[in-house]
A = this chain, B = another copy of it.
Amino acid sequence: MGDITARRAMRADARRNRDRLLSEARAAFLEHGTDASLEEIAARAEVGVGTLYRHFPTREALLETVLRERFDALAAAARRLVDSRSAREALIAWTGDFVETTTVYRGLTAALTATLRDRTSALHASCEAMREAGTTLLIRAQEAGDVRADVTPMEFLALVAGVSWAREQMAGGELRGDRLLPLLFEGLERLG
């Protein structure tokens, strides 16, 4: 749902335009963050705005299609990590991936938390799946005694998202982005 995956194959021109739009959208999101101008995307794809809005009724629908792959990959990574390495390392690795993913486009972290809150959103399902996958990893780490047991999955996600947001805010400043996550993590480790 959201975009067009009709039973009938799309007409050739429609398919062409859709692909072109997605490609330009990726570029625009990279350059201007998640609130890049949709008109500009349409223009760069050499297509009218009407065409853009028919393929992707809302900005979110467009974002969804651009991001779904990554999010699903993240969920898959979590599932794969469940039975490899130590629980602690698995959680660390996955969290790193999470931050990496939510940092590709400026403003993405905000879009993600908004999606998590809005049950009607097109991206909601993907986010939810990802969240649950991460939750499993957290609980395993807690059972292994690597992370303090009184942290709820929601709290954990909030903290990690906060770090991700902070990193994207302070980018370019006098702050090494890769320091925040370890700091948080070492703090959540079970105290001696």
Q: How many subunits of this chain does the assembly comprise?
A: 2
Chain A interface main SS type: helix
- Tell yes or no: A158 within 8 A of B by CB: yes
- Complex-state Cα separation, A78 to B42, whole angstroms: 50
- Complex-state Cα separation, A177 to B146, whole angstroms: 24
Which chain B residues lie closer than 8 Å to A164 at the CB level? 162
| Count, chain A residues at interface, CB 8 A | 32
- Find A183's partner among B151, B173, B175 (CB 8 Å cutoff): B151
Chain A residues near B (Cβ < 8 Å) = 110, 113-114, 117, 151-152, 154-155, 158-159, 161-167, 169-170, 172-175, 179-180, 183-184, 186-188, 191-192
